[in-house]
């Protein structure tokens, strides 16, 4: 790749308001800071945001200075409009985005695109390129259709005819990049249509900022910084430019850095640091260069990332972020927007129901030998269809019950009692029609939390998800192994609040740096005969012991190695 690192470029975004304020002196000083602590390979220099447009002379001053330092300079646009003369009245739009049915605003959008294309061969749109306008004219033009359909058509037109078309008319070489936000589950509600825009734009980019998951308004699991980056790389193969994170509401340096780690583990080509003036002088940034250099060494020769396929069709929502919680229980997740018919395993959450053919695909998949795990959220909407397809006769009663006892059914000693209650949906099955691998109960009641059905050559499992899906972290570690073994019988890891990222040539283990976390032991299991798990960074070897696991009336041999993980520390491991 060139630049400061071998496996990625370090990039900083410069918003229009910041670019407009630069003086040659301030630019020189800021650059020295960023170069020292991050190592600056590239910037995106913005021409427009809100009320601010940057004049040509100012853009050229910044561009030539940065290029003289060997920094690559691309352009950027934020599609907010600020106070706009001629806009119809009405309530303020959330985030001041354009009304794309307003002829004057449409014209302004086209001008901004043309202006920017004069100076840059690559232009990225910041993730305000959504439409949420509900003005009287938009309601009128929407007519009898719904907002999703209306906005899909509207943004297809805007993308082709007001942004990409006009830019390419001015500069045929220009590469147009659409950055998608960190809220994938809501794209379709606000006119983000990656499945349509992939034919209009040259490349994409993805928001990986997760900030403080419990406390910030989006409540995004930390793992999103990895899995959403993987999702976009899978959705636009070879055309996802990078991942984009920021320091806002991170509150600790570790939390800030963690976003960069996970974006890099996802093999994003560019690590976009937003934004220039909030990074200069920020203590969060001071460890970045050192940590990125370590990750860069670690990623060398590690091969392609992979994991358990989770089918997340475009324009879908439901059980949002659930798969990311599994990612933080050591299950490596590989989200894909196309049904992975050839994969040996697949996980389907409620989001998969956005595919109108999902039941047929699922039936064929299992019939032909696949192992599918569906959640109770998926089942809730689809149980009649599943019954009609013959995949299961189990059903959800609609009742919920508080589980205080767990029972791993294949293990005669597999009872775990007196846990704090967790609410689960009640899943009822015909005895011996399906087989429960994990039960949950309280008093004399119990029901299945993980049910296996067979069909054709394959198996379909129903996994009961707690009402509050964050309660998964409170389930006993060994109960989750039942799910882990089903999703990956070859390699799995027991523990909580950590991730195992798997690649062709090794794995990375990382324990999250949450405030209340301490060191913890995780157990890595493989079905392959191995001697030890070796930490490549320090050469330590953790001996692998052969154990017998009882499950489902059978015994299986596994090799397991125990590793102690410290919060905020990552390492690369290989079997030897």
Binding interface with Zn ion (CB under 5 A)? 99, 101, 133, 135, 138
Q: Which is nearer to Zn ion, 135 or 389 (CB)?
A: 135
Q: Which is nearer to Zn ion, 158 or 386 (CB)?
A: 158
Q: Which is nearer to Zn ion, 105 or 328 (CB)?
A: 105
Q: Which is nearer to Zn ion, 99 or 508 (CB)?
A: 99
Closest among 440, 452, 359 to 405, alpha carbons compared: 440
Q: How far is the CB of 372 from Zn ion (least distance, A)?
A: 43
**SS3 label, residue 36:** helix
Determine contact, residues 447/441, Cβ cutoff 8 Å: yes
* DSSP per-residue string spanning 37-51: HT---EEEEEEEETT
Two tokens, residue 499: 């991730």
Angle between helices 56-68 and 24-37 (to 10 degrees): 40
Q: How far is the CB of 128 from Zn ion (least distance, A)?
A: 15
Q: ∠ CA(517), CA(518), CA(522), 5° rounding?
A: 100
Cβ neighbours around 478 below 10 Å, total: 16
Which DSSP letter does residue 212 get? -
Q: Which is nearer to Zn ion, 106 or 294 (CB)?
A: 106
Q: What gap in Å lies between CA 314 and CA 188, rounded to an integer?
A: 8
HEC profile of 96-150:
HECCCCCHHHHHHHHHHHHHHHCCCCEEEECCCCCCCCCCHHHHHHHCCCCHHHH
Determine contact, residues 377/319, Cβ cutoff 8 Å: yes
568: left (phi over 0), alpha (psi -120 to 50) or beta: left
Which residue is associated with the tokens 């406390």?
Answer: 215
Q: Which is nearer to Zn ion, 32 or 139 (CB)?
A: 139
Q: How far is the CB of 107 from Zn ion (least distance, A)?
A: 15
Q: What gap in Å lies between CA 151 and CA 30, rounded to an integer?
A: 40
Q: Which is nearer to Zn ion, 133 or 250 (CB)?
A: 133
Q: How far is the CB of 141 from Zn ion (least distance, A)?
A: 8
Q: How far is the CB of 76 from Zn ion (least distance, A)?
A: 24
The CA-atom distances, in angstroms, between 385 and each of 182, 346, 357, 358 are 32, 19, 11, 10
Q: What gap in Å lies between CA 286 and CA 307, rounded to an integer?
A: 32
First to last CA, the chain: 31
Q: Which is nearer to Zn ion, 117 or 133 (CB)?
A: 133
Q: Which is nearer to Zn ion, 91 or 518 (CB)?
A: 91
Closest among 571, 492, 493, 565 to 536, alpha carbons compared: 571
Q: How far is the CB of 47 from Zn ion (least distance, A)?
A: 24
Q: How far is the CB of 145 from Zn ion (least distance, A)?
A: 15
Q: Which is nearer to Zn ion, 161 or 282 (CB)?
A: 161
Q: Which is nearer to Zn ion, 90 or 303 (CB)?
A: 90
Q: Which is nearer to Zn ion, 132 or 252 (CB)?
A: 132
Q: How far is the CB of 396 from Zn ion (least distance, A)?
A: 41
Closest among 501, 93, 55, 38 to 291, alpha carbons compared: 38
Q: How far is the CB of 151 from Zn ion (least distance, A)?
A: 11
Q: How far is the CB of 423 from Zn ion (least distance, A)?
A: 42
Residue 97 preceded by cis peptide, ω within 30: no
Q: How far is the CB of 196 from Zn ion (least distance, A)?
A: 20
Q: How far is the CB of 108 from Zn ion (least distance, A)?
A: 14
Q: What gap in Å lies between CA 414 and CA 65, rounded to an integer?
A: 66
Determine contact, residues 411/395, Cβ cutoff 8 Å: no
């Amino acid at each position: 790749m060139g630049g400061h690192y071998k496996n990625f470029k370090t990039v900083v975004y410069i918003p229009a308001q910041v670019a407009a304020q630069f003086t040659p002196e301030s630019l020189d000083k800021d650059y020295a800071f960023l170069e020292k602590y991050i190592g600056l390979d590239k910037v995106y220099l913005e021409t427009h945001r809100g009320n601010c447009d940057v004049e040509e002379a100012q853009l050229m001053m910044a561009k030539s200075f940065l290029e003289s330092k060997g920094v690559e300079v691309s352009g950027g646009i934020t599609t907010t409009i600020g106070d706009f003369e001629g806009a119809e009245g009405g309530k303020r739009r959330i985030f001041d985005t354009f009304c794309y049915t307003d002829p004057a605003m449409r014209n302004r959008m086209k001008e901004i695109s043309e202006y920017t294309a004069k100076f840059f061969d690559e232009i990225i749109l910041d993730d305000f390129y959504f439409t949420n306008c509900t003005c009287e004219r938009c309601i009128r033009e929407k007519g009898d259709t719904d907002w999703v359909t209306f906005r899909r058509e509207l943004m297809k037109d805007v993308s082709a005819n007001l942004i990409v078309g006009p830019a390419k008319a001015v500069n045929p070489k220009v590469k147009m990049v659409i950055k998608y936000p960190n809220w994938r589950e809501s794209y379709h509600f606000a006119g983000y249509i990656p499945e349509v825009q992939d034919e209009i734009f040259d490349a994409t980019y993805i928001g990986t900022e997760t900030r403080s998951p419990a406390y910030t308004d989006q409540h995004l699991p930390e793992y999103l910084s990895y899995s959403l980056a993987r999702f976009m790389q899978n959705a636009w193969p070879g055309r996802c430019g990078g991942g984009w994170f920021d320091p806002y509401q991170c509150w600790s340096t570790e939390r800030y850095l963690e976003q960069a780690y996970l974006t890099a583990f996802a093999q994003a080509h560019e690590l976009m640091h937003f934004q220039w003036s909030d990074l200069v002088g920020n203590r969060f940034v001071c460890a970045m260069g050192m940590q990125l250099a370590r990750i860069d060494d670690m990623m060398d020769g590690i091969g392609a990332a992979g994991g358990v396929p989770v089918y997340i069709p475009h324009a879908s929502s439901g059980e949002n972020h659930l798969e990311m919680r599994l990612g933080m229980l050591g299950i490596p997740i590989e989200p894909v927007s196309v049904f992975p018919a050839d994969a040996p395993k697949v996980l389907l959450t409620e989001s998969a129901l956005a595919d109108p053919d999902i039941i047929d695909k699922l039936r064929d998949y299992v019939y032909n030998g696949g192992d599918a795990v569906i959640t109770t959220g998926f089942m809730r909407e689809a149980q009649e269809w599943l019954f009609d397809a013959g995949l299961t006769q189990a059903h959800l009663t609609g009742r919920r019950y508080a589980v205080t006892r767990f029972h791993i059914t294949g293990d005669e000693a597999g009872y775990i009692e007196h846990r704090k209650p967790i609410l689960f949906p009640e899943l009822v099955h015909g005895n011996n029609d399906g087989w429960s691998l994990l039960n949950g109960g309280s008093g004399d009641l119990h029901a299945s939390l993980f049910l296996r059905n067979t069909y054709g050559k394959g198996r379909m499992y129903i996994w009961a998800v707690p009402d509050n899906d964050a309660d998964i972290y409170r389930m006993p570690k060994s109960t989750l192994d039942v799910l882990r073994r089903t999703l990956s019988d070859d390699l799995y890891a027991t523990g909580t609040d950590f991730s195992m990222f798997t690649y062709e040539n090794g794995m990375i283990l990382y324990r999250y740096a949450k405030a209340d976390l301490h060191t913890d032991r995780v157990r890595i299991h493989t079905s392959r005969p191995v001697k030890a798990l070796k930490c490549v960074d320090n050469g330590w070897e953790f001996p692998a012991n052969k154990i017998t696991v009882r499950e489902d009336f059978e015994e299986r041999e596994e090799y397991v190695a125990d590793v102690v993980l410290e919060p905020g520390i990552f390492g690369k491991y290989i079997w030897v």
